Amino acid sequence: MTKKKLTEEIKYQMARNFLSSLLEQKKITPQEYKKAEEYAAGKYHPLLRTI
């Protein structure tokens, strides 16, 4: 895995963890979570998500 791909993977995991915490705190709805998670996946192209 290249340095850029590793960085993108870390950014995706951070975004996903942040979204999960917002969902747990009921600051976003499950629909908003799904939309934001899809956006993050499209932006960062995580490898672990596709496995």
Answer whether 33's CB lies under 8 Å from 23's CB: yes
Q: For 1-51, what is each residue's pLDDT tens digit?
A: 789 888 999 999 999 999 999 999 999 999 999 999 999 999 988 876 554
Q: For 35-44, what is each residue's pLDDT tens digit?
A: 999 999 999 8
Spatial distance between the Cα atoms of 51 and 37, rounded to a whole number of angstroms: 16
Helix, strand or coil, per DSSP, at residue 26: coil
pLDDT at 50: 53
Structural domain spans, the chain: 3-45
Long-range contacts of 7-13 (CB under 8 A, 24+ apart): 8/44, 8/45, 8/46, 9/44, 9/46, 9/47, 9/48, 11/44, 12/40, 12/41, 12/44, 12/46, 12/49, 13/46
